[in-house]
Amino acid sequence: MTAHIAAISTALPPPIEQSTMWDRHFGPLLRDSRAAERIFAAAGVRRRHAVVSPLELDVSECTTGERMRLYNEFARPLGHRAVTAALTSAGLEPTDVGQLTVVSCTGYTAPGLDVQLAASLELAEDAQRLMVGHMGCYAALPAMATVADYVNVHQRPAVLLCLELTSLHVQPSTMDVGQIVSHALFGDAATAIVVRPERSRLEIVATSAVTDPATADHMTWRVTDHGFRMTLSPQVPEVLGKHVRQAVERLLTDHGLTVPDVRGWAVHPGGPRILDTVERELGLPAEALAASRHVLRENGNCSSATVLMVLDELLASAAPQPGDPVVAMAFGPGLTLYTTLLTVR
């Protein structure tokens, strides 16, 4: 028995051009620092999307409670749009869904977003729910593995929703390089996938992980009195570079594959340097990560939703053939690297 991804759909709030955010918001706050401007220009981002534009409301001085009220206002409608579109694309009704899994590290409320969506979507009363919180950018892949396990055991369709509203956690602007990088990279998105037991677009084959606890302080996401604060070390690409090839080869070897056998790469675009590192360590051609760079350019880093957006872009733009192996890869706090092997059907 195998689980298959039948549909992927993304819902986005209004866009904001990167240059506009710099010119009208971050630039003035940072006294038009040339160094900070270079960081924004080098982020690989053309535009992002935000439920709360800093041009309309500067949330940097808001309390965590105020930010959570905004999360509660915007999360359910955005998630509803993504799930509804994915179910429609898969030819399913909400009552067909046996399990709804919601991933989010950018907001908390009770009843949770899973309960809110179960009600607004009118899921069946016996539909199971799971909330995955605070895992960060890589959370989509372990959550996908859990959803696939449910589908394999119960032989019923399930939905995974990754929803992140990073715009609610803008911090007061300082010359701290890590904070400037965060302000230059992150955007909001909700991406839903439908997983079903019947043969469909992508078979979910296997998932693997590696964590380097010795570098846990390189990437953190801490709850503070003024939202969730990220710390991001410039050493992250270097650390990931030490693990990425071994992690990928371990996943592939178990299935009789090698790196050159892979026909599609859906790599979480944590930033241009991370993509460059993956490309170099795996010996990939320049075009291999085109889907990742496109999603980064048009949406920024949307935390857990991003790797699913890249996977959707890859299927649309690269048109992999039946039988082609595809590897999805994402990184986050821990430092943690997750990889998932999929096969085009």
Which residues are known catalytic residues?
A: 137
Q: What tokens does 179 get?
A: 């904070």
Q: Whole-angstrom distance between the N-terminal and C-terminal Cα of the chain?
A: 15
**Position of tokens 């371990």?**
250
- Tell me how far apart the alpha carbons of residues 54 and 187 are, in angstroms, rounded to a whole number: 12
DSSP-derived 3-state class of residue 318: coil
Residue 266 bridge partners (DSSP): 328
Nearest CA among 210, 151, 114 for reference residue 5:
151
- Tell me how far apart the alpha carbons of residues 188 and 299 are, in angstroms, rounded to a whole number: 8
Residue 196 bridge partners (DSSP): 4
Q: Please provide the DSSP assignment of 279-297 as one string.
A: HHHHT--GGGGHHHHHHHH
Q: What tokens does 134 get?
A: 């605070």
Contact predicate 323/73, CB 8 Å: no
- Tell me how far apart the alpha carbons of residues 65 and 71 are, in angstroms, rounded to a whole number: 10
- Tell me how far apart the alpha carbons of residues 155 and 52 are, in angstroms, rounded to a whole number: 40
Nearest CA among 152, 134, 155 for reference residue 206:
152
